[in-house]
Structure 1
Amino acid sequence: MNYDEAMEMGKAEFGQMPPQAFLLGLLSAFDNRYQASADSFMKEITWKQFFAIICIKLCKEPPTLNDLADIMGSSHQNVKQILLKLERKGFVSTTTDGKDRRKQRVVLTDQCREFCEKNDAPSQAIIGRIFEGIEESKLITTIETIMAMERNVCKL
């Protein structure tokens, strides 16, 4: 079955299943497709590695491993593996926290910043294509819905 056939089947099945179940499946399938596409776009690193970099950049100060795992919504072990691979590639390094020597903070390297700068315009172009034809009001509703779902998942 190809992608178009799967989407047509999905449209037909949508009326036969609760919209909540359909949405969860759709989000999972989208995540898989997006990850595969992003992995092929960025040759040097994977999408999950790039997502870790994005999350590090969002922090006001270099995050700890636990901080980063919380932000990424992933386990400590998974994030540690991602960071080890990024460290081997020269994209991140760790430094001891100035206030608490037991904590290690994750820092982006110059090599990482150069990579991000080089890939910013192409990444923005791809994001533009993904959201082409989607009204901003629908995006805001989707964001609000997924944030509410996220809050509910955290309560489980």
Structure 2
Amino acid sequence: MDRSTMLTGLNDKSILFGLFFAFDNQLQAAGDTFYEGITSKQFFLTICLSLFHDHCPTINELSGIMGSSHQNVRQIANKLERNGFIKLLPDEQDKRKVRIIPTDKLMQLEMKHKNQGVEFMERLFDGLSEEEIAITLKAMIKIESNLISIREGQK
């Protein structure tokens, strides 16, 4: 039986809830085959790392941007460090904090994958209008805010 038949009769919220998990798995699998030499989660960490223009972030700062736990970000960062893409160094003012410093090897990787990243995004959003993308983004931002509230116990 195909999935659309199985979903018949479910409300849209339940279907969306399930799709979030399915998308997570599918996005990771597609990204892992798309980027040579790096996993999609590692690539996502490097994208988030590039958002910090004025300083090298701590693991905690990066985990906040990524929406992931400190432990998960640390595991991903450890693998990137072993492969020479980043350095993990103690903060100069607070040795308990660990800063993530990009290396030249990471810069080379980003240049290598620049066209692949553009192609991946084009293929991912193929067939969607700019309006559909904007509406989806607005809805996802609201859902993320709700998730943060739930996680923090505010609702």
Is 1:147 equivalent to 2:149 in the alignment? no
Amino acid at match of 1:34: L
Partner of 2:26: 33
Q: How does 1:4-43 map to 2 (within 5 A)?
A: 5-6=2-3, 8-9=4-5, 13-14=7-8, 16-43=9-36
Query: Equivalent residue of 2:42, what SS?
Result: helix
Post-superposition CA distance 1:40-67 (Å, at most 9, x none): 1223111111111111111232110111
After superposition, the CA RMSD in angstroms is: 1.6
Q: In structure 1, what is the Cα distance between the partners aligned to 2:148 and 2:27?
A: 24
Q: In structure 1, what is the Cα distance between the partners aligned to 2:127 and 2:96?
A: 49
Q: In structure 1, what is the Cα distance between the partners aligned to 2:94 and 2:118?
A: 38
Count residues in correspondence.
Answer: 149
How far did residue 82 of structure 1 move? 0.5
Structure 1: give runs of 5+ residues left out of the alignment. Answer: none
Distance 1:122 1:43, change over 3 A: closer
Structure 2: give runs of 5+ residues left out of the alignment. Answer: 151-155
How far did residue 98 of structure 1 move? 4.1
How far did residue 101 of structure 1 move? 4.1
The percent identity for this pair of structures is: 38
Partner of 2:115: 121
Query: Equivalent residue of 1:123, what SS?
Result: helix
Post-superposition CA distance 1:72-120 (Å, at most 9, x none): 1111111111000000000110234344344221011100110010111
